[in-house]
Structure 1
Amino acid sequence: MAAVLGGGAILAACGTGGQDGTAAADTAPAKLSVADSYIPLPPAGGMGAGYLTVRNDGGPDQLVKVSSPAAGSVTIHRSTASTMEQVSSLDVPAHGALQLARGGTHLMIMDWQKAPALGDELELDLTFAKSGTISVKVPVKELTYRPGQS
C-alpha cells in the first residue's frame, strides 16, 4: 500500500545555483512521498519493526524523528553485521530515496497502546528537518510479508 501524504506549498527554485555556488538541487525544497510501508505482525506484547520507503523528488532532507499516537516509543535503528544501533537521524538524498528495510535501517515500535492485529493500521508521524511532519497509516502484515511479492 503506497501512502502519499504531505502539506504546505512547494516553492519553485529559480536559477541554476545559489549565491555560494551550491547546485539548485541542494537548495530546492524536498518533495517527499512514502511508499511500501508495513509492519510485520509483532509477537503479543512485543516490540515491532516498521519498514517504508521515503521518495524524494526535490532537494535533500533528513528524517529526524518518528512518533505514533498509538505507541509509547518509535526509534530509528541501523542494523550492522553483528549489532543494531539507534541513530538520531537519516539522510533523505535529493532526487533519491531513503529505504527502511529488513536487515538495514528500520523503525522499532514499542509500548503499543493496543496489541496490533493483521490488517490494523498504525499512524506514524515522520518528522523531517526541512519538510516538517508527514503522517502515514502503516498496515500490519503477516510476518513473512515482503512488498512487491504476492
Structure 2
Amino acid sequence: MTTNTLFAAASAAFLAMVSAPMAFAADITVTDAYLRVSGAMAKSAAAFMVIENHGAEDRLIDARSDLAQKVELHTHLQDANGVMKMIHVAEGFPIAAGENHVLQRGGDHVMFLGLNSVPVAGESISLTLTFEKAGDVTIEVPVDNERMPDMGKMDHSTMGHGKMKGGASN
C-alpha cells in the first residue's frame, strides 16, 4: 500500500468509527445512546440518550423497535406519598430550539415492554425515534448494562467559589 492509500483507508475507518454512535435528521442529532436490560429473563428494557436540537422547537412523539411488543416514552414522577412512579408520556417530550433533552435513568427514557428477545452486552438494537417536525431518526443502540448513571453529580461551575473565604467557615 502507498502512504496515500493507507492514509485514505485510515481516514475512512476513523470517520466511520466517530460517526457511528450518532444519528442525524434535519436539525436533530442523537448521541450517547445506550440500552439497559436487567438480566437474561428480562421482560423489559430502557434506552437513554442525548437529543440535540439545532433548529426550531420540536417534540419526540414516538419510538419503535422490533425488540419489544410495545415501545413507549416514559418518565418518573413522584406521587402524593413521595413514591416515584414510572408513567407513559403520551404527548412525548418537547425539545426546545437550540437545546438538548437528556433521556436518563430516573427521568425521561424510552421503555421497551414485552421483549421479543433479550439482547446482551456487545449487541446493538435498532430504534426509530419519531419527531413532530424532523420525522424519523433511526439509531443503533448498544447494550451497556455496566454503565453507571451520572445522577448525583453536581455542577460546581455556578457555585461562586471565587467569593469563598479560605479557612474556617462562618
TM-score normalised by L of structure 1 = 0.75
- Residues 1-40 of structure 1: matches in 2 within 5 Å? 2-6=21-25, 31-40=27-36
- Picking from 95, 101, 105, the partner of 1:98 is 101
Count of matched residue pairs: 124
* Residue 47 of structure 2: aligned partner: 50
User: What is the letter of the counterpart of residue 52 of structure 1?
Assistant: M
Deviations 1:76-132 (A, max 9, x none): 111023211110111011000111101111111122222111111111100011111
Structure 1: distance between partners of 2:30 and 2:101: 10
Kept after mapping to 2: 8 A contact 1:42/1:143: no
- Residues 1-150 of structure 1: matches in 2 within 5 Å? 2-6=21-25, 31-43=27-39, 44-81=41-78, 82-88=84-90, 89-146=92-149
Structure 2: distance between partners of 1:45 and 1:78: 20
TM-score normalised by L of structure 2 = 0.67
Structure 2: distance between partners of 1:59 and 1:110: 32
SS of the counterpart of 1:141? Answer: coil
- The structure whose Rg is larger is 2
Structure 2: distance between partners of 1:87 and 1:96: 20
Distance 1:70 1:101, change over 3 A: same
User: What is the letter of the counterpart of residue 69 of structure 1?
Assistant: D
Deviations 1:49-78 (A, max 9, x none): 110111011111001100102221111111
Q: Superposition RMSD on alpha carbons, in Å?
A: 1.7
Q: In structure 2, list runs of 5 or more residues that go unmatched.
A: 1-19, 79-83, 151-170
- Deviation at residue 146 of structure 1 after TM alignment: 4.3
Structure 2: distance between partners of 1:97 and 1:144: 21
Q: In structure 1, list runs of 5 or more residues that go unmatched.
A: 11-30
